[in-house]
């Protein structure tokens, strides 16, 4: 009698499945350069800080440890559940500085005002239409203080789209409890500029998970597109960097990092 192999699950929606928090910190490590970048930037801009797309608390919690008050907003409950668990493990002072909310950045409202808002990990790209961008940026603008700041990063996807597929990558946690091989393929619609990624994980540990597939869509953005959206929403672009060391944007850069100021 042969051993039954684990069956492939139906494709899951990225961030809204229980799989995403399991793999997220191996894709966006807690000690990745962007965490230190946002920490330094928010210290410069001051608090309180609004983080949109806060996910598992990867950025919000270090900001709070540094003494900044943070409101973290995310639409995906599985990600927020992990953020709450991690926040519960922090000391009382850190816990008191963080408020986590489940909300869509396109519909987020707040009676509080913020010195700055940040959208890490290319989350701005999940706003797939100009209408989505206008709604989100309008909400951010409304809850920022006079001359408050907004910062976010987006990946530059051109090479990924042309290749159609990335080579397999194996990722494992230091304790060995999570170990998987990740493969990504892309479909690009030039009419909408939307890229659809299919991410397949073959789990070596935990073994019972077997192969799992997630899908996520993101808008392929140009510098001109982003700057136009920011300008229309009442923001003045102050800087565009090509990496978290504040290197100026170059043709070979694989990301764009925007710093903008509320102007109107």
Say how far apart CA 79 and CA 27 lie, in whole Å. 14
Q: What is the pTM of this model?
A: 0.90
Average pLDDT over residues 139-166: 87
Rounded to the nearest 10°, the torsion over CA 28, 34, 39, 41 is -150
Is the pLDDT at 1 greater than 50, yes or no?
no
Residue 87 neighbours by CB under 8 Å, 6+ apart: 57, 61, 94, 95, 98, 100
Rounded to an integer, the average pLDDT of 165-183 is 91
pLDDT > 70 in the chain, percent: 92
Per-residue pLDDT tens digits for 194-210: 999 999 999 999 888 88
Tell me which range, 1-15, 39-53, 156-170, 193-207, is most confidently predicted by mean pLDDT. Answer: 39-53
54-87: per-residue pLDDT in tens? 999 999 999 999 999 999 999 999 999 999 999 9
Predicted confidence (pLDDT) per residue in 110-141, tens digit: 889 999 999 999 999 999 999 999 999 999 99
Of 44-58, 119-133, 156-170, 235-249, the poorest mean pLDDT is in 156-170
């Amino acid at each position: 009698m042969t051993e039954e192999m684990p069956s492939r699950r139906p494709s899951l929606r990225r961030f809204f499945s229980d799989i995403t928090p399991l793999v997220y910190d191996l894709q966006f490590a807690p000690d990745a350069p962007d965490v230190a970048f946002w920490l330094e930037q928010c210290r410069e801009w001051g608090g309180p800080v609004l983080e949109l797309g806060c996910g598992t608390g990867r950025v919000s919690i270090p900001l709070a440890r540094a003494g900044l008050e943070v409101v973290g907003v995310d639409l995906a409950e599985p990600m927020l559940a992990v953020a709450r668990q991690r926040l519960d493990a922090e000391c009382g002072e850190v816990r008191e500085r963080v408020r986590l909310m489940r909300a869509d950045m396109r519909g987020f409202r707040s009676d509080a005002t913020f010195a700055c808002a940040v959208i890490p990990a290319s989350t701005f790209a999940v706003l797939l239409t100009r209408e989505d961008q206008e709604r989100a940026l309008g909400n951010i603008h409304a809850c920022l203080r006079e001359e408050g700041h907004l910062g976010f990063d987006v990946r530059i996807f051109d090479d990924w789209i042309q290749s159609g597929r990335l080579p397999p990558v194996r990722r494992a946690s230091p304790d060995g409890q999570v170990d998987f091989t990740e493969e990504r393929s892309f479909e690009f619609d030039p009419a909408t500029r939307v890229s659809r990624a299919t991410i397949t994980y073959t789990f070596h540990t935990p073994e019972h998970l077997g192969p799992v597939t997630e899908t996520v869509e993101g808008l392929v953005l140009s510098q001109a597109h982003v700057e136009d959206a920011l300008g229309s929403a009442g923001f003045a672009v102050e800087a565009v960097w090509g990496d978290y060391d504040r290197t100026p944007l170059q043709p070979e850069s694989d990301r764009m990092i925007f710093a903008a100021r509320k102007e109107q």
